[in-house]
Each structure stands twice: as structure tokens, then as C-alpha cells.
Copies of this chain bind each other. A is one copy, B any other.
Amino acid sequence: MNIIPLRIALAQVNMTVGDLEGNAKIILAMMQQAHTAGAHIVCFPELALTGYPPEDLLLKPGFVNANLCKLDELVAASHTLRGLTAVIGFVDRKQDIYNAAAVVHEGSLVGVYHKHYLPNYGVFDENRYFQVGQQAPIFLIHGVHVGINICEDIWYATGPMTSQAHAGAEVIININGSPYHAGKGQARAEMLSTRAYDNGLIVVYLNIVGGQDELVFDGESMVFNEQGQLIARAKQFCTDLLIVDLDTASVFRSRLHDPRRRKERLQVTANEVPIVPVTTCPLPTLAANNHVVLGAPQRIEPQMERLQEIYSALVLGTGDYARKTGFKQVVIGLSGGIDSSLTATIAVDALGAENVLGVLMPSGYSSQGSKTDAITLAENLGIHYLVVPIEETFRASLGMLRPVLGDDDLGLAAENLQSRIRGNIMMAISNKLGPLVLTTGNKSEMATGYTTLYGDMAGGFAVLKDVLKTLVYELCHYRNSIGEKALIPQQVIDKPPSAELRPGQKDTDSLPPYNELDPILKAYVEDDRSFEEMLAMGFEGKTVERIMRLVDLSEYKRRQAPPGVKITPRAFGRDRRLPIINRYREVL
């Protein structure tokens, strides 16, 4: 039994989908860094080479081939990194394609693992692309039996990890592209701890970090020992290289001491051992600085509390969307309301005040407070702002439409018109000056359709798309609480929400108060609760009925909405695929 600890480096990297060249450079740099740090193994997340998820790029043979060429380059470059084994997520191509992990060692591709469990729910479509893996090899690395598997594989108690454990794996490396939603970290940690304990081995869980369209990956890579205890954790929402020394001797010791696990293992071994080829890597030589002390404390980054976590997800998702689509700057319409104030604050935290432009677009219906509040916010944030009054254009537009629409009250048409003139201004600024337009609508509005298509919905990225209004308030309080001074003016938080598209308008003219609305939206949209169930939860029937109807009828608007950061288990977008033509009404 080898008692030299295994030093493993978890490369929690931020990749860009499709950027094979750039991603390969990051991988190589991290391999070198891990080697310098004396690691025996460095691992990279699921599909690290292509970025995750590459979606229909996977249907382009040229893309798959280009990813294989890049892997070859990395294999060749690994030649000089003596004693280091790298585990790299890539797309393998045999008679079909596989979501795969390459095991690379000193200039050779030592082995490949193919993902078994392909998620095809929620935001995932992996059955659309990949063939199912059939083998669960383990690798002997620096004298330690190591099983490698990918993401979903570890969520099944009887998955390939069990085979690997039965075949003698002492360490499992599970590489992930696991998108964030609030509370997911806790669920992952509990599951991983259970897997480690149940199988009596060390579980190394590695996740991507960064934003990709509607998804944000939170990182928070973790290592659990054979007792199910957390022994190391990387940062959340941040690239990281977490280096951990694994006390694999204690895995064997614990097996000897645990009759339950030992017996179970023997029984299974006797009856149904899976055929698992074991590939032996040459023993790496220890790098000079690798004098590690067994049982030395490892790095456990603190876990963020709920609001900090969500806020960080929004900052990273927004910043990465801008950066990865090639924008340096963003522009935001500032209404003096709470949504645009929070959006601007997030943008400043994501991209820096110098890269955020505010635009005030007052109309005759704008309160004086709205304008001064927006200016106070811009000053607090230190961002540049423009003022573009819409009154004249609104008048000209009404004059243009009167001959065909008549002289009656234009009602909703006139309200939307103002919002759309503002949308036009934002897009003209984007077209001429170049910044990405961030929209400011929240999930409560997106759900109920209390938003104007091509108006306030006009823009490239919807920061608060998955944030219910009540959470908007919580996040404002949170952000105000952490800085030296409150950035979001108190009067913005205190005043009743209004779209200010007609005199004296309040959101509550059209919607229930948000503290009533949001729990219903969560029940209906996120949890698929039925009408009956919602009544049993204590909601008022008429209100529930009305909200269900608003949600159902707004699908066509959401279909044309920009993407935004998913922070809940069920976001609008790929997560929730309802038809537009849909006559199903639970309550008739």
C-alpha cells in the first residue's frame, strides 16, 4: 500500500464555448502551474476544451475534429510535464460522439472515460448529442487507484462510480458542468458526502465557473474524504486552482475497519464485479517542492450566504455575457425604480463603473422623484449618464398614429408606445456607441407579462429575468449593507413600484402586491403546482386563477425575450419549454 499522499490540483476554470484555441491555452497554463506546484494529477471540468454546453456545435463534424486536434496538441505538450497526469473534458469521437474525459500523461493519451448518464431534462439536452458510455475504467496513478467519471454519473447511487469503487478505486474524480441555482451547492455537498461515505473513498468534485448564455456555473469545487467529510473547497463564482493532498492510506485503513462496507464490497465483488480494465500510469516522480505533511489542513473556502451567492451569480453571469460576446460596455435605462437601480449596481460590480452608461428617458408621466433618484443612483455608482426626454417623440408618434387609430384614449397602446420609444433610444445608443443594452425586467414581470415587448424588453441581456420582485428588494438591501455606503437610494426602495406610463400608475393597479404574487409564481412556474394544490397552500382562488392565466398568456412575449441569468431551479428559457399555442387551462 502506497502511503505517499496524492497531490491533486482542481483547475476550476472559466472557459468560453467554441473558443478551442483559448480554452486549450488556459488548460496548458494550468497544467504547467499544477506541475510547478508538485501535483500528481490536475483535472479540468466537463467539456473544458469546448466550453459547456456547446449545444448544436456538436453536430458540426469540423468542430468535433478541431476539438480532437486541440487535445492532441495538449497531449504532445504534456510530454515535458514529468510525473503529471491531466484529466481533461473533451468530445470524443469513435463511431459516434461522447461526452468524455481524457487521461493524459507525459505525452500519451493513457485512457478515455465516456459519460454514462446523459441529462436530458431542465436545461440539458445531452441525449440530442451523445452516445452513452459503457465502460468504467480505473487508473493507477502514483500508486493510487483512481476512478474518473462525469457530472450526472455521480448522481446515481448505482452508477459507474459504484463499479469503480468495487474494482478498488480509492479516489473518484468527478468532473462537472453543473449550472448554478440558489441552494444547489448544499444539495450537491450532501450527495457527494453520501457517495464518498457509501463507497468508502475520496470524492473529488470539480465544477466549471463562469457564465454561458442563460447559465452561470458557480465553481465551488469540493473534496470529501472516505468518512464523507468536506476536506477542501474552492471559491464560488471565481476561477481557482485548488491543490489538495489526499490521504489515500486512510481510505484503505477505513475499509479494514468498516465491516459493513467491507462485507458489502466482498459480496458484490464475488457476485458481479464489472469488467474494468485498469491502466497503469508510470509512477510520477515527486516534484522538488512536494514535501507534504499528511493530514495538513487543506483550503476550505467559506461558503457564501444566500443573498451573497445569488448576487455573485448575477454579477458573474452578466459580466461574462458581456465579455464573452465581445462587449466592453453596457447601457441601462434608469427609471429611478428598483429594478433598473439593482441592474445598474450589478453591472458596475461586473464591469466597473467606467463601463456602465445610464440613460434617463423621462416623459410627462415621470415623477420628479424618479429623475432625481436615478441621478442619485448614477452618482452613487460613479457612472456616466445621459438624459433623453421622450416627450416630443411621443407627441410626434401620437400625431402619426391618430389618423389611423382615432381620437379615443389609446390606453395600453399609448403606454406601450412610450416604453417602445425608450427601447428605440437604447438600441440607437447601442448601434451608434457600441454598448450592450441590459434590460431591467424581473421574473415577476416576465411571468405575468407586465412588460412591453420591444419596449423595456429590448436589449441583449436580461439581468433580473429569473429574480422575483421580492428578491429584487432583498438583493438591494444586501448590496446596500455590504459597501461603505448604501448605493441604492432609500427612496428608490421605499416608493411604490410604478411603470409611470400613465398618471398615478402603480403596479398594484394591475397585479397583486408582490409579496402575494411571488409565492404564487414560485408555486406555479417553478414547482408546477396545480390550482387545487395552490388553494390548499392557502392562496386565494380568484388571484391564483388570474395569475395562472397571465402566466399562460405571456408565453409569446417570453419567447422573444433576451437571455438572463438562471438562479432558480426553473428559469424561463431552455428550462421551461411551453408551447405558445396552448389552450390548456386548469381552471376553465
Contacts of A128 in B (CB 8 A): 120-121, 125, 577
Is A582's CB under 8 angstroms from B424's CB? no
Interface segment, A49-57, A73-81, A164-172, A512-520? A49-57
Shortest distance between the CB of A81 and any CB in chain B (Å): 26
In this complex, which of A128, A390, A583 has the most chain B Cβ atoms within 10 angstroms of its Cβ? A583
A429 interfacial by beta-carbon distance below 8 Å: yes
A295 interfacial by beta-carbon distance below 8 Å: no
Is A400's CB under 8 angstroms from B388's CB? yes
A24-55 vs B: 1/0 string, CB under 8 Å? 00000000000000000000000000010111
A490 interfacial by beta-carbon distance below 8 Å: no
Compute how far the CA of A17 lies from the CA of B531 in the bound complex, rounded to whole angstroms. 20
Shortest distance between the CB of A560 and any CB in chain B (Å): 5
Known: A17-B583, A60-B528. A423 touches B393 (CB 8 A): no
Compute how far the CA of A559 lies from the CA of B128 in the bound complex, rounded to whole angstroms. 20
Contacts of A400 in B (CB 8 A): 388-390, 392-393, 425
A213 interfacial by beta-carbon distance below 8 Å: yes
Compute how far the CA of A583 lies from the CA of B563 in the bound complex, rounded to whole angstroms. 18
Is A399's CB under 8 angstroms from B410's CB? no
A538 interfacial by beta-carbon distance below 8 Å: no
A412 interfacial by beta-carbon distance below 8 Å: yes
Known: A579-B54, A581-B17. A60 touches B530 (CB 8 A): yes
A294 interfacial by beta-carbon distance below 8 Å: no
Compute how far the CA of A420 lies from the CA of B399 in the bound complex, rounded to whole angstroms. 17
**Which residues of A are interface residues toward B (Cβ below 8 A)?**
16-22, 51, 53-57, 59-63, 66, 120-121, 125, 127-128, 211-213, 320-321, 324-325, 359, 386, 388-390, 392-393, 395-397, 399-401, 403-405, 410-413, 416-417, 420-421, 423-425, 427-429, 431-433, 453-454, 458, 460, 528, 530-532, 556, 559-563, 576-586, 588
Compute how far the CA of A250 lies from the CA of B30 in the bound complex, rounded to whole angstroms. 72
Contacts of A359 in B (CB 8 A): 404
Shortest distance between the CB of A177 and any CB in chain B (Å): 13
Compute how far the CA of A429 lies from the CA of B410 in the bound complex, rounded to whole angstroms. 10
Is A431's CB under 8 angstroms from B404's CB? no
Contacts of A412 in B (CB 8 A): 431-432
Contacts of A212 in B (CB 8 A): 579, 581
Known: A400-B425, A424-B420, A560-B560. A578 touches B56 (CB 8 A): yes
Extra inter-chain contacts (9) besides given A55-B577, A392-B399, A396-B397, CB under 8 Å: A17-B582, A55-B578, A60-B528, A121-B128, A321-B581, A386-B404, A396-B396, A416-B431, A454-B458
Compute how far the CA of A454 lies from the CA of B532 in the bound complex, rounded to whole angstroms. 39
Known: A125-B577, A388-B400. A432 touches B453 (CB 8 A): no
Compute how far the CA of A460 lies from the CA of B428 in the bound complex, rounded to whole angstroms. 23
Q: Which residue of B lies closest to A50 (CB)?
A: B584
Contacts of A410 in B (CB 8 A): 428, 432
Is A429's CB under 8 angstroms from B416's CB? no
Question: Would you list the 7 A-B pairs with minimal beta carbon distance, nearest first?
Answer: A18-B584, A396-B396, A19-B583, A413-B431, A413-B432, A62-B530, A454-B454
Shortest distance between the CB of A44 and any CB in chain B (Å): 18
Compute how far the CA of A20 lies from the CA of B584 in the bound complex, rounded to whole angstroms. 7
Is B397's CB under 8 angstroms from A416's CB? no
Shortest distance between the CB of A492 and any CB in chain B (Å): 23
Residue of B56, B61, B121, B528 near A577 (CB, 8 A) is B56
Contacts of A404 in B (CB 8 A): 359, 386, 388, 429
Compute how far the CA of A137 lies from the CA of B59 in the bound complex, rounded to whole angstroms. 36
Is B424's CB under 8 angstroms from A417's CB? yes
Contacts of A51 in B (CB 8 A): 583
Contacts of A321 in B (CB 8 A): 581
Shortest distance between the CB of A384 and any CB in chain B (Å): 11
Shortest distance between the CB of A71 and any CB in chain B (Å): 15
Is A405's CB under 8 angstroms from B424's CB? no
Known: A396-B393, A417-B428, A586-B62. A580 touches B563 (CB 8 A): yes
Contacts of A432 in B (CB 8 A): 405, 410-413
Residue of B392, B401, B578, B584 near A425 (CB, 8 A) is B401
Compute how far the CA of A427 lies from the CA of B390 in the bound complex, rounded to whole angstroms. 18
Compute how far the CA of A166 lies from the CA of B584 in the bound complex, rounded to whole angstroms. 41
Contacts of A417 in B (CB 8 A): 424, 428
Contacts of A324 in B (CB 8 A): 581, 583
Is A576's CB under 8 angstroms from B393's CB? no
Compute how far the CA of A59 lies from the CA of B121 in the bound complex, rounded to whole angstroms. 10
Known: A61-B530, A413-B432, A417-B428. A583 touches B22 (CB 8 A): yes
Contacts of A460 in B (CB 8 A): 556
Is B582's CB under 8 angstroms from A18's CB? yes
Contacts of A580 in B (CB 8 A): 213, 325, 563
Contacts of A59 in B (CB 8 A): 528
Is B454's CB under 8 angstroms from A423's CB? yes
Compute how far the CA of A576 lies from the CA of B393 in the bound complex, rounded to whole angstroms. 39
Contacts of A213 in B (CB 8 A): 579-581
